A and B are shown apart, each in its own frame.
Chain A
Amino acid sequence: MVTTAGAMTAKAEANPWWRVALAAVVWTAAYLLIEPLSQWVAYGLAGLPRGSHLGGAVAFFFFDVPKILLLLSGMIFVITVVRSFFSAERARRLLSGKRVGLGNVLAAALGIVTPFCSCSAVPLFIGFVESGIPLGVTFSFLIAAPVINEVALILLLGMFGWKVAALYVSSGLAIAIVTGLVMGRLRLERYVEEFVWRMQFRGGEDESAALSWEDRFAQGRDAVSEILKKVWAYVLVGIAVGAGIHGYVPTDALAGYMGKDAAWWSVPLVVLAALPLYSNAAGMAPVLQALVEKGAALGTALAFMMAVVGVSLPETILLRRVLKPQLIAVFVGVVTVAIIVTGYLFNAVL
């Protein structure tokens, strides 16, 4: 056994794929162990009676924390490796010369797969507009990335299954496409700061094609540790709150306020309340799960999360450098309306 492990380590050093395969095996084993372990901690180790509030809450906590952290590590790694094949430079090349309509669809799709940090919104905006990409198409790209948040997607997948995750992605895409189309129609070019139009953007270099698999895997590893470091505290707090709701709030307690048959204004109210909040998707999702379990409609809850995660104050403030306040207001307004409509749609469909 020792020699096999030794041989595997030696191979891992020689070929980066071996190391990934090894990690995948360890990951799967750990994932399968979570459920029995969480039961053992709550009812065996802590000796809590089955069916009690506290027992339920503790088991929920020790099941969800490792599950979410594992899901995050695995999926972030895969997503980052896939994304290493895309770059802002490539997106710009693909989008220049594309017309409104098809351009918006392509932009929204590229917005999801292109690695992009919200701090880059401003230089990216200039780079796109300078190369003649229409304003509306540029907005489709800029909206898709934050609205379809990869951490949120992974968590939805883990907690609600692939149907809800797919719905989340398709509605995010729809929001990005429609918002971009509407903004393009409004002819808002005059509300872009003048200096942007005077600038000469020199072509940047694209390094995405030159990377080796080893580089891509290294980027994946870095992304996993960077994101876990950033979100673990949010995950713990979010799950603790979720576990509390799970264990103590009676079922259907929320049905009257956030349920399917709640008043029509419950979706807009929830979205408007969420706009100024800016939280991490990682902290939001566990709370969401608990809310839905207690009678909140999934559409209302999803709209709430999209508004919290997708419209962020820091990014809006950064964009102020290149956009006049009127355009910022239109941007936030159109996205908000789109999210509210999505909330209604979800409630009608689900």
Chain B
Amino acid sequence: MATGVSVIEVLGPGCARCYETLRVVRHVVDEAHLECLVEKNESVERMADLGVMRTPAVVFDGKVVLSGRIPKTEEVRHLLGLS
């Protein structure tokens, strides 16, 4: 399935909240059989580059769609245009 998003990044230094966010995003992507790349990015440079001051942040193709909290499954689906 295609949603127009090809790379999803989860930004965060590697704390429990970031991994939980990654898990939620992966779950949605797997469930909907999306063909996009999901990656965890711990680079501080990347965060500054995108203007992220609060982690975890979720980034679709270089655009920050959420930052500072763990999203709900439903919310990620909505952001991806799945519901």
Chain A residues with CB under 8 Å of B54's CB are 87-88, 115-117, 120, 123-124
Chain B residues with CB under 8 Å of A314's CB are 15
Contact for B68 among A87, A126, A322, CB less than 8 A: A87
Query: Is A122 in contact with B13, judged by CB distance below 8 angstroms?
Result: yes
- 8 Å CB contacts to B: which residues of A114-132? 115-120, 122-124, 126-127, 130
Query: Is B47 in contact with A126, judged by CB distance below 8 angstroms?
Result: yes
Query: Is B68 in contact with A123, judged by CB distance below 8 angstroms?
Result: no
Interface on chain A toward B: helix, strand, loop, or mixed SS?
A: helix
Q: Beyond A122-B44, A195-B45, A321-B44, is A204–B12 a contact (Cβ under 8 Å)?
A: no
Query: Is B48 in contact with A201, judged by CB distance below 8 angstroms?
Result: yes
In the complex, A92→B13 CA distance in Å? 21
Query: Is A120 in contact with B68, judged by CB distance below 8 angstroms?
Result: yes
The answer to the question of A189 belonging to the interface, with a C-beta cut-off of 8 Å to chain B, is no
Chain A residues with CB under 8 Å of B67's CB are 204-205
Chain A residues with CB under 8 Å of B49's CB are 199-200, 202
Chain B residues with CB under 8 Å of A130's CB are 48
In the complex, A139→B81 CA distance in Å? 40
The answer to the question of A330 belonging to the interface, with a C-beta cut-off of 8 Å to chain B, is no
The answer to the question of B1 belonging to the interface, with a C-beta cut-off of 8 Å to chain A, is no
- Identify the closest chain A residue to B16 (Cβ): A119
The 8 A CB mask of A230-268 against B (1 = contact, 0 = none) is 000000000000000000000000000000000000000
Number of chain B residues whose Cβ lies closer than 8 Å to a Cβ of chain A: 23
Contact for B13 among A201, A205, A222, A318, CB less than 8 A: A318
The answer to the question of B76 belonging to the interface, with a C-beta cut-off of 8 Å to chain A, is no
The answer to the question of B17 belonging to the interface, with a C-beta cut-off of 8 Å to chain A, is yes
CB distance from B45 to the nearest CB of A (A): 7
The answer to the question of A203 belonging to the interface, with a C-beta cut-off of 8 Å to chain B, is yes
CB distance from B38 to the nearest CB of A (A): 19
Query: Is A199 in contact with B48, judged by CB distance below 8 angstroms?
Result: yes
Query: Is B45 in contact with A199, judged by CB distance below 8 angstroms?
Result: yes
- Identify the closest chain A residue to B14 (Cβ): A119
Query: Is B51 in contact with A126, judged by CB distance below 8 angstroms?
Result: no
The answer to the question of A35 belonging to the interface, with a C-beta cut-off of 8 Å to chain B, is no
Contact for A204 among B13, B18, B52, B56, CB less than 8 A: B52
In the complex, A203→B48 CA distance in Å? 9
Query: Is A127 in contact with B45, judged by CB distance below 8 angstroms?
Result: no
The 8 A CB mask of B1-37 against A (1 = contact, 0 = none) is 0000000000011110110000000000000000000
In the complex, A132→B13 CA distance in Å? 23
In the complex, A87→B68 CA distance in Å? 9
Query: Is A119 in contact with B51, judged by CB distance below 8 angstroms?
Result: no
Query: Is A119 in contact with B17, judged by CB distance below 8 angstroms?
Result: yes
In the complex, A88→B68 CA distance in Å? 9
Query: Is B53 in contact with A120, judged by CB distance below 8 angstroms?
Result: yes
CB distance from A225 to the nearest CB of B (A): 11
Q: List 29 A-B contacts (CB under 8 A).
A: A87-B54, A87-B68, A88-B54, A119-B13, A119-B14, A119-B17, A119-B55, A119-B56, A120-B68, A122-B13, A122-B47, A123-B47, A123-B52, A123-B54, A124-B53, A126-B44, A126-B47, A127-B51, A195-B45, A199-B45, A200-B48, A201-B51, A202-B48, A202-B50, A204-B50, A204-B52, A205-B64, A222-B69, A321-B13
Q: A117-B15, A123-B52 are in contact. List 13 more A-B contacts (CB 8 A).
A: A88-B53, A92-B53, A117-B55, A123-B44, A126-B44, A127-B48, A130-B48, A199-B49, A200-B48, A202-B48, A204-B64, A314-B15, A321-B44
**Nearest 3 CB-CB pairings of A with B:** A204-B51, A119-B15, A202-B51
